[in-house]
Structure 1
Amino acid sequence: MTETIPAERRCWSVSWSQYTPADITPPELLPAALAHHVPDWAEGAATPADVNDWDRRRAAALVPYELDARGWPLHPQGRTGRTGRNLGKWGENAAADPIVVAGHGDDRRVLLITRDDIGVEAIPGGMCDLGETAPTTLARELREETGVDLSDHQPVILGRDLVDDWRNSDHAWVASTSALFVLPATVRAVAADDAVDAGWWPFGSLAELDAAITTAGRTLYIAHRPLLARALDHLNRPQQAARPR
């Protein structure tokens, strides 16, 4: 899914005249298609030049980024090997990832879904709607994808980070607020919306989770491994671990 960019060529300040990224724009987001119909999940700007609120977007960004000489947004980590847009917006697309953990010790479990787009096990979550705050998105996405309603719980915010999403390009990418919810025991979860399955997995360690998922003939979404590792790190600090509500 990801083009390999040499480390020494990744930084935008490094000149690379022969750089030819692959355009990953799907047919429905090409300029000709947008002129006739804009999908309800996407903005109508055919290119970043058609966006007129870059100051506001950059001020609200979870991860700071720059614009190039054309006024186009640049991925904060440098060249990706891909251009175009396969996301709702140009620049940063804010998302929220609720990590729901239940139980303790050998009985600790984490709630994951099977994504309907790429068929892997992942944290339930998704894009923030226009004007929506991260806490609202966390609760909404969790409820929509698993039926679990934790809107009355206060999660621990673990971080606001870039996500190595398969749809990222040089000019459109995902950044997410990840948060930890801790429950005393598992609750019923039912897959819906963008999930084709939802279930609880052993979560004593990332290795234990990997083994359980592999044994089931499934695959853990690689972009969510760092988020899950951070949650484990937090849970394994007794003096800072979140308490069940």
Structure 2
Amino acid sequence: MTVPEDRRRWSVIWPEYAPVEITPPELRPVALARQVPDWAEGHATPEQVGDWDQRQADALVPFKFDEYGWPLHPHGRTGRTGRNLGKWGENQAADPIVIAGRGEHRAVLLITRDDIGAEAIPGGMVDPGETAPVALVRELREETGINLADLRPVILGRQVVADWRNTDHAWVTSTAALFRLSEQVTATAGDDAADAGWFPFGCLDQLESAVTAAGRTLYTAHRPLLLCALEYLNQNGRS
């Protein structure tokens, strides 16, 4: 369902609110009792989670709970309920934004996601016990074959992203980081990528046009992250 902007905040009383359940079959209680997917936790409801204090302490973006002890999306109502992610509450992702060249020759590395077919930053979820800096390098290597372990990135920000799987009680946050290369290197699609390649990145409109010309679409959730990269590049000169 669509949530009007004036009713998004949790502090706004909305008795008629009826979010759509989007939990896939494999994460529903009966299925989890038989087998837990290797990418997900086995808790069918948030009440079964025993480490909420630690999850709150580790969160990139602070969050609260409702009167039933369920975690609440930091930005308010989403119109969706349930879980279509690995964990209840915050699910941390790492998104490496790789830029090659400068000026009119500047380009950004994107992958074609094999789940939704959109052009996106080559990132993914942080594994249990893994740090975001390690996940940035790992995801990039797994999805494009490019190893930038020796290159120190600039952390652009840590924020909630508008992932299509977000619900009122499970959502994605991202550590976005900028890697700069002097020139383009060969990228080979792997892992969750159907394709990988470079697109012109003078501005977001230029990128959108190039992606459209290739018969593809840009992943909506990654637009704000790409804008952050452009702002950084434009503000720090030698772009």
Same fold (TM over 0.5): yes
Q: Which residue is equivalent to 1:95?
A: 93
Q: Does 1:205 align with 2:203?
A: yes
1:68-95 superposed Cα distances (whole Å, 9 cap, x missing partner): 1111100001110000000000000000
Q: Which residue is equivalent to 1:60?
A: 58
Q: Which residue is equivalent to 1:216?
A: 214
Q: Which residue is equivalent to 1:48?
A: 46
CA drift at 1:238: 3.4
| Aligned residue pairs, count | 239
Alpha-carbon distance in structure 1 between the residues aligned to 2:209 and 2:131: 35
Alpha-carbon distance in structure 2 between the residues aligned to 1:238 and 1:167: 34
1:153-189 superposed Cα distances (whole Å, 9 cap, x missing partner): 1000000000100000000000000000000000010
Q: Which residue is equivalent to 1:230?
A: 228
Alpha-carbon distance in structure 1 between the residues aligned to 2:4 and 2:233: 36
Q: Which residue is equivalent to 1:153?
A: 151
Structure 1: unaligned runs, 5 residues or longer: none
Give TM-score scaled by structure 2 length. Answer: 0.98
Q: Which residue is equivalent to 1:32?
A: 30
Q: Which residue is equivalent to 1:6?
A: 4
Alpha-carbon distance in structure 1 between the residues aligned to 2:48 and 2:182: 49
Equivalent residue letter for 1:186: Q
Equivalent residue letter for 1:56: Q
Q: Which residue is equivalent to 1:71?
A: 69
Q: Which residue is equivalent to 2:190?
A: 192
Alpha-carbon distance in structure 1 between the residues aligned to 2:93 and 2:8: 24
Alpha-carbon distance in structure 2 between the residues aligned to 1:13 and 1:232: 34
1:188-212 superposed Cα distances (whole Å, 9 cap, x missing partner): 1000000000000000111110111
Alpha-carbon distance in structure 2 between the residues aligned to 1:6 and 1:12: 12
CA drift at 1:146: 0.1
CA drift at 1:102: 0.2
CA drift at 1:52: 0.7
Classify the secondary structure of the residue corresponding to 2:34.
coil
Classify the secondary structure of the residue corresponding to 2:65.
coil
CA drift at 1:152: 1.0
Q: Which residue is equivalent to 2:179?
A: 181
CA drift at 1:37: 0.2
CA drift at 1:4: 1.5
1:116-167 superposed Cα distances (whole Å, 9 cap, x missing partner): 0000000000000001100000000000000000011100000000010000
Give TM-score scaled by structure 1 length. Answer: 0.96
CA drift at 1:14: 1.3
Q: How much is the aligned-residue C-alpha RMSD, in angstroms?
A: 1.0
Q: Runs of at least 4 residues of structure 1 off by over 4 A?
A: none
What is the aligned-residue identity percentage? 68
CA drift at 1:15: 1.4
Q: Which residue is equivalent to 1:19?
A: 17
